[in-house]
Chains A and B, each alone.
Chain A
Amino acid sequence: MMEFNESIAKELLNSLALVLKTAQIHHIDNMAVTNSIEKFLSILRGHFQSEEVKIEIIGDYFYINDNRIRYTSEYIFNYDFLMREMRRIKLGTLIFHGDISFDDMRNLTIGILSAGLSEDPFNTLMNAMKEIENVEVMELKKVKEDETRLEKKEIIKRTYSSTVLLSKDVFNKLKAGERANLKKAKRVIGTVVDQIIEDETMLIGMTTIKDYDEYTYYHSVNVSILSVALGHRIGLPKKALSRLGLAALFHDIGKIDIPLEVLNKPTDFTEEEWRIVKEHPQNGATLLLNLRTIDELTISLIIPAFEHHLNYDLTGYPSIRSRLELDLFSRIIAIADQYDAMTSARVYSRVPMSPEMALSTMMERSGKQLDPTLLKVFINMVGVYPIGSLVMLDTKELGLVFENNPNPEFIERPRVLIIIDSSGHQVKGRVVDLMERDENGSFKRTIVKTLDPNKYGINLAEYIL
């Protein structure tokens, strides 16, 4: 067997995505489509010759001939597109045997496109496959079963709690004027990054946990997780994600010197108190400067600590003289920070915003306070019904959004944990997929209304943990 070449494999995957992309826009015999098919075949023939090539989706990754393909920023959006399209038609595996003709590839493209429009996509594709030689398709395997999920949930819980403990440790040590353990911090954030890369859903779900008494620690952890997830979505490499996660964890470090009675004040701040609170970005930057000698890592931490309350249009605080361009990390952290702050209960704001209301408010700030492109990615990530949203279904069932739909085209169809059934009885632990259809091909359930779980004191932790 030939030696596996990852960069060629990446190119192959990218060219397959381009075939489908161009075929969605143009007629199948348009030159753009034929060229992209030729390109795909030239890579297939040129580098894999007559060997069998298996392209497979396992979890959130593509595998080619059993080798996991690592994402790179260059191709990430095309990979996402391909993943989405294949999942949409429940296509899990594509196997190319030997020499594939142009007609085979043309027919396969037509088959995939028709499957996408069909009520029963995979069978439509299977029918189309009868005309195609040398290409085999297999249905997408069901996502992890409950048992694996439970095991995974425990791992995720442990990661979350380790990060919270770390956050407490860092804040307390710095407050006491001691040195924070950055080695440990890097390792814990490394685990967060790994879990986000593997499957972001559950860890993002954990960010719905808010702690009223120890707001700052939990908030820092939540901002860190949401930032890493957003960074991953835009294609940042692992090392950068680790830096981003650390920077997010430290973004509010300047608050350690704000007296608790100010920080937890239940009424409006006085002018002087506001002045103190608004100094935390500059204090954070100075504290980090005092903490370590200057190196790449320190710089990555200092910048967002200083900039995270500066708006996209450079209003906000601290007031600055330069026409600087906000750092990418700062803009990511600002989005995660606002979202988590709005959806958290605090002393001065006991009833937080519902997740969808928070997103809606953030959309109003797009381009003014927040980076519009990153905000789009963030909304696609958390979903228009973010995890933890309390939703009423057309079946008169009440549920909590439990997991987002990975297919952005069906973003309004997440998996929902039913907490009250259609006859008004409380139920426990039943998760339904809003993508499920009945025998007529209609969706079985659709969200008709959202409610604010905080208004009713509904305990998200009860369900998430």
Chain B
Amino acid sequence: MLNDKSSQEPLTEGTGPVAELIREIQKAKRLLRMYPSNNPVYVSSLDTLYNKFSEVLRTEGELKLKIQQKSILHNGEQVYHNPERDDNLALFFFKDGVRELTFTEGLTRDELEGFMKILTSEIDQEQATDDVVTLLWERDFEHISYVVDELYLTDEEVMAEDRIYNEIKEQHARDNEALLMAYKDALEAAEETERATFTPLNEADIENISLEIKRQDLQKSTKLVTILFELLYLQTNRDDLRNIINHIKSTLEYCVLNGDFKNANYLLDMVKENIDKKFSPDISGNELRKIYDYINSPLMIEDLGRRIDTLSEDIDKEAFLKYIGHLNKSAIPHFINLLGDVHTLYGKQLLLDALTILGRQDVKLLSDGLRDTRWEVVKDILYILGRIGTSGALEYLTHTFSHPDERIRCEAVRVVGTLNNPNAFQYIKNALNDRSPSVRITAVRALSNIKTEGVKKVILTELSKKDFHLRDLNEKKEFYRTIAQWHDAEVREFLIKTLKKKPFLRKRKTNETRACAALALGIMRAKEAIPALKNASREGDDLLREYSISALERISI
């Protein structure tokens, strides 16, 4: 036991490479606990520690550490001392009986990581079923050994042990006469007891056993689900039935938390199969409905979100999406909440897929997410609405056209362009006059999908505007590329006219516009424009010359 006095003792920092290594272990312990194993901080602190270990083992050959209650010794010298209870490396090992730790040369990075995982495990929690010795034992390290003082047999237990054996001996008091009688019988009787014969294993037996060993861990969760339902069928009173249903719920949670959606689906399929059944005259599977409430609850979905982020690519996408198919529309708001909190790309993709499936059940409810204060969430919802493609979604998203964030307005225009809704055109047309060039570009791209005479006129009107030539080159190019999709005389003449236009004021901007017209004529492969393009290709403006030459080349191919 640590006494009260100890708290006044100072933490002693040893010197030399081993003391330094112990300090590095503690530092790494803190960092490894904080970061997931794929984080660069985790990786680099483990690397640093591994290098330090390798260095010490190269010089020492082996590193033997004696563990005391508050201290760690190496070659009789104290390399660590901590009088405090908390975060005490010596006490961590000492309390479970570890008295010596030896690291030998050849220690691998994986072994060190395994060892550090033991140091960072939460074995002091009440629910924990492992102590340090069990964890070291289970890992069975090749280059880390330990000596344990078995504290488990107390004096009381030793006495109990003696009692056990004495009782057994007394129970079968030796009977010499019986023994001699047995001998006599054996000499006289010819009777032979039937006995088993030795049957060696054949190749098939060996193969079967090896296969079973390999797959046995994989099947245990599925088996648990099967057993839970067998237990359910065996129940005869309502309280016991409810108890089993609670365990079914916990098992579902366990599967989800471990990213095991295959088994979660198996469980939910079983729920579905049994929900309308009667197990006895008084007991029906109706109570199983609460499993559905549970899977759609904010708590469960929050857990799911956390696991999506940490397990990320370990999650089987197909099984995950099948799991989502078991949920109902009430889960939509909870999934929307998760959208802004998931950090991994794969996790985000899974959530988008999930909301696409769920959103189909209630587009209006999904569209409520468009009121979210996080711009990225609104953008994601718009993206999902686009994927769902229901034309009715338009009425829910019109307000996003005036969203203060241009990224949202862009996405809104893009999505509306994909909805097969006759009213979409008006919204996109309005967006051509948005204050943001990105939104205008997106709008003109969206219009290119519609390709009607009306749209052509709208674009030509935009291009004819007095100040259009003042816009950014990229935007102008996008507009001209779009208009080039109408291969008709009206467009051709408009473009040739624009190309021929001689600049007076703002020469550069006008020539940019002329270059864009050349680009569009090239796209249209308009032979009628060759003379005008040839003239333009001889002009002094670099951009105009380059675009005209390239258009001529395109037309002549």
Binary B-proximity of A303-320 (CB < 8 A = 1, otherwise 0): 100110000000000101
Give the docked Cα–Cα distance between A177 and B186 (Å). Answer: 51
CB–CB A459/B174 < 8 A: yes
Minimum CB distance partner of B196 in chain A: A359
Minimum CB distance partner of B97 in chain A: A187
Q: A299-B220, A377-B201 are in contact. Are A452 and B193 (CB under 8 A)?
A: yes
CB–CB A450/B208 < 8 A: no
Minimum CB distance partner of B189 in chain A: A449
CB–CB A360/B196 < 8 A: yes
Q: Which of B84-92, B222-230, B409-417, B489-497 contacts A (4 or more CB under 8 A)?
A: B222-230
Residues of A within 8 A of B165 (CB): 157, 161, 461, 465
CB–CB B208/A373 < 8 A: yes
CB–CB A294/B179 < 8 A: no
- Indicate the size class of the contact surface on chain A: 35 or more
Which DSSP category, helix, strand, loop or mixed, fits chain B's interface? Answer: helix
State which of B181, B195, B224 has its C-beta within 8 Å of the C-beta of A302. B224
Within 8 A of B (CB), among A50-76: 70, 73-74
CB–CB B209/A306 < 8 A: no
Give the docked Cα–Cα distance between A451 and B168 (Å). Answer: 22
Q: Does B171 contact A (CB under 8 A)?
A: yes
- Please report the total number of B residues contacting A with Cβ < 8 Å: 79
Q: Does A42 contact B (CB under 8 A)?
A: no
Residues of A within 8 A of B174 (CB): 458-459, 462
CB–CB A363/B196 < 8 A: yes
Q: Does B504 contact A (CB under 8 A)?
A: no
Q: Does A282 contact B (CB under 8 A)?
A: yes
CB distance from A245 to the nearest CB of B (A): 12
Q: Does A379 contact B (CB under 8 A)?
A: yes
Q: Does B199 contact A (CB under 8 A)?
A: yes
CB–CB A356/B198 < 8 A: no
CB distance from B299 to the nearest CB of A (A): 15
Q: Does B341 contact A (CB under 8 A)?
A: no
Give the docked Cα–Cα distance between A77 and B165 (Å). Answer: 37
Q: Which of A12-20, A94-102, A233-241, A255-263 contacts B (4 or more CB under 8 A)?
A: A233-241
Give the docked Cα–Cα distance between A183 and B247 (Å). Answer: 23
CB–CB B152/A459 < 8 A: no
Binary B-proximity of A171-198 (CB < 8 A = 1, otherwise 0): 0000000000011101110100010000
CB–CB A459/B224 < 8 A: no
CB–CB B216/A376 < 8 A: no
Which interface residue of B182, B191, B196, B224 has the most chain A CB atoms within 10 A?
A: B196
Give the docked Cα–Cα distance between A423 and B173 (Å). Answer: 24
CB distance from B251 to the nearest CB of A (A): 6
Within 8 A of A (CB), among B160-174: 160-161, 164-165, 167-169, 171-174
Q: A373-B209, A450-B193, A465-B169 are in contact. Are A456 and B133 (CB under 8 A)?
A: no
CB distance from A287 to the nearest CB of B (A): 11
CB–CB A360/B164 < 8 A: no
Give the docked Cα–Cα distance between A293 and B127 (Å). Answer: 9
State which of A324, A424, A452, A455 has its C-beta within 8 Å of the C-beta of B183. A424
State which of A209, A294, A318, A377 has its C-beta within 8 Å of the C-beta of B168. A209
CB distance from B420 to the nearest CB of A (A): 48
CB distance from A374 to the nearest CB of B (A): 8
Residues of B within 8 A of A390 (CB): 182
CB–CB A238/B230 < 8 A: no
Minimum CB distance partner of A4 in chain B: B106
CB–CB A186/B129 < 8 A: yes
CB distance from A71 to the nearest CB of B (A): 12
Residues of A within 8 A of B212 (CB): 328
CB–CB B201/A77 < 8 A: yes
Q: A451-B182, A458-B182 are in contact. Are A357 and B193 (CB under 8 A)?
A: yes
Give the docked Cα–Cα distance between A408 and B201 (Å). Answer: 11
Residues of A within 8 A of B161 (CB): 157-158, 161-162, 165
CB–CB A327/B220 < 8 A: yes
CB–CB B134/A360 < 8 A: no
Minimum CB distance partner of B253 in chain A: A294
Q: Does B391 contact A (CB under 8 A)?
A: no
Minimum CB distance partner of B173 in chain A: A459
Residues of A within 8 A of B227 (CB): 285, 302-303, 306-307
CB–CB B172/A460 < 8 A: yes
CB–CB B164/A164 < 8 A: yes
CB distance from A205 to the nearest CB of B (A): 14
CB–CB A465/B168 < 8 A: yes
Residues of A within 8 A of B467 (CB): none
State which of A162, A321, A327, A426 has its C-beta within 8 Å of the C-beta of B223. A327
CB–CB A77/B206 < 8 A: yes
Q: Which of B33-41, B135-143, B470-478 contacts A (4 or more CB under 8 A)?
A: B135-143
CB–CB B192/A184 < 8 A: no
Residues of A within 8 A of B197 (CB): 363, 384
State which of B130, B206, B220 has its C-beta within 8 Å of the C-beta of A186. B130
CB distance from B199 to the nearest CB of A (A): 5
Give the docked Cα–Cα distance between A354 and B192 (Å). Answer: 12
Q: Does A296 contact B (CB under 8 A)?
A: yes
CB–CB B179/A187 < 8 A: no
Q: Does B541 contact A (CB under 8 A)?
A: no
CB–CB B234/A459 < 8 A: no
Which interface residue of A285, A453, A465 has the most chain B CB atoms within 10 A?
A: A285
CB–CB B173/A322 < 8 A: no
Q: Does A411 contact B (CB under 8 A)?
A: yes
State which of A157, A184, A235, A398 has its C-beta within 8 Å of the C-beta of B182. A398
CB–CB B134/A187 < 8 A: yes
CB distance from B270 to the nearest CB of A (A): 9
CB–CB A320/B194 < 8 A: no
Residues of A within 8 A of B214 (CB): 73
Minimum CB distance partner of A323 in chain B: B226
Give the docked Cα–Cα distance between A183 and B191 (Å). Answer: 50
Q: Does A396 contact B (CB under 8 A)?
A: yes
Residues of B within 8 A of A334 (CB): none
Residues of A within 8 A of B130 (CB): 183, 186
Q: Does A147 contact B (CB under 8 A)?
A: no
Residues of B within 8 A of A186 (CB): 129-131, 134
CB distance from B172 to the nearest CB of A (A): 4
Q: A165-B161, A239-B138 are in contact. Are A461 and B168 (CB under 8 A)?
A: yes
CB–CB B201/A373 < 8 A: yes
CB–CB A294/B254 < 8 A: yes
Q: Does A442 contact B (CB under 8 A)?
A: no
Give the docked Cα–Cα distance between A325 and B216 (Å). Answer: 11
Q: Does A211 contact B (CB under 8 A)?
A: yes
CB distance from A396 to the nearest CB of B (A): 7
Residues of A within 8 A of B505 (CB): none
Give the docked Cα–Cα distance between A410 and B198 (Å). Answer: 9
Q: Does B454 contact A (CB under 8 A)?
A: no
Q: Does A242 contact B (CB under 8 A)?
A: yes
State which of A290, A379, A449 has its C-beta within 8 Å of the C-beta of B243. A290
Residues of A within 8 A of B201 (CB): 77, 373, 376-377, 380
Q: Does B187 contact A (CB under 8 A)?
A: yes
Minimum CB distance partner of A183 in chain B: B131
Residues of A participating in the B interface, judged by any CB pair closer than 8 Å: 3-4, 6, 70, 73-74, 77, 157-158, 161-162, 164-165, 182-184, 186-188, 190, 194, 209, 211-213, 234-236, 238-240, 242, 282, 285-286, 289-290, 292-297, 299-300, 302-303, 306-307, 318, 320-322, 324-325, 327-329, 354, 356-357, 359-360, 362-363, 373, 376-377, 379-380, 384-385, 390, 392, 396, 398, 408, 411-412, 419-420, 424, 426, 449-453, 455-462, 465
Known: A424-B180, A453-B182, A460-B172. 18 other contacts (CB 8 A): A161-B160, A165-B157, A213-B171, A234-B213, A282-B231, A282-B234, A285-B227, A302-B224, A302-B227, A303-B227, A327-B223, A328-B216, A359-B195, A377-B201, A379-B198, A456-B175, A456-B181, A465-B168
20 A/B residue pairs, CB under 8 Å, sorted by A: A77-B201, A165-B157, A165-B160, A209-B168, A211-B168, A282-B231, A286-B231, A302-B224, A306-B230, A327-B220, A328-B213, A376-B200, A376-B201, A379-B199, A398-B183, A426-B176, A426-B179, A450-B195, A452-B193, A458-B178
Q: Name the 3 nearest CB pairs between A and B, nearest first.
A: A459-B172, A161-B161, A359-B196
